[in-house]
Amino acid sequence: MPAQRPASHTTDTASRHVHAIIRIEGELDALVLPEFRQTLTTALRAGVAIVVLDLRNTRFLSIGNAAVLICAATEAVANGVDLRMVVGRREVDRVLRLSGARSLLNSYHSLSAALEV
């Protein structure tokens, strides 16, 4: 199976509150870990108040990428950014829970809920 691009980073300045959305489609495995880390770092340093990680279309999350999320949660707090996530699949949520990443991030059931202030 060919590797898929793990993330797209968009910044929405049309709304009242500026935010960044990172949409992950496919698998977050070891192959895409460096790109995922860089995408998160870029979003967290973009000067936005809210970064939403949309994992609804993520089929797999490696423990290494869960560790990246734990580091991102720490960086978010240091930068005054509210890092939020939307989780869809139970398999992904299980890795988040087992790694401890789930308890560090605000979790929502929909993107619209995650974007509310």
- What tens digit of pLDDT does each residue of 15-29 get? 334 899 999 999 999
Q: Are the beta carbons of 99 and 67 closer than 8 angstroms?
A: yes
Tens of pLDDT along 82-91?
999 999 899 9
pLDDT for 25: 92
Which residues, 6 or more positions from 77, have their beta carbon under 8 angstroms from its beta carbon? none
Q: Which two tokens stand for residue 81?
A: 């950014």
Cβ contacts of residue 42 below 8 Å, gap of 6+?
9
**Residue 43, exposed/middle/buried by CB under 10 A (0-12, 13-18, 19+)?**
buried
